Amino acid sequence: MINYYLLQFAQTISIGTGKGDVDIPALTSEQVLQNGLSIVYFIVGIIAIVVIIIGGITYATSAGNPSSVTKAKNMILYAVVGLVVVITAYAITNFVIGRF
């Protein structure tokens, strides 16, 4: 019974092709790895940019308090270093995955 409904669903999905078969993309292990790593790098990059923005706001609202200024500068510095590390890791992994 469930197979019938799954078949009907699959045929509904593939109406645009006219063949009656489901077009499931075939991904290689390299593509799966590259897609997963790209998602992780994207998320880490977004986090680094958010930390840079928070550090800038902290710096702007520190009102000359030396501890707040130091904290804000360290946040920005560490976020930029993290962003550089992520970009470098992205370049290295894409180079290595592309070679194999």
81 close to 40: Cβ distance less than 8 angstroms: no
pLDDT, tens digit, for every residue of 54-66?
999 999 999 889 9
Reading the block at residue 59, the tokens are 């710096």
- Average pLDDT (35-59) is 93
Q: Compute the distance between CA of residue 84 and CA of residue 45 in angstroms, rounded to an integer.
A: 9
Closest by CA position to 89, among listed 45, 52, 31: 45
Q: Would the pTM count as exceeding 0.85?
A: no
**pLDDT computed for residue 98 by the predictor:** 78
Residue-level length of the chain: 100
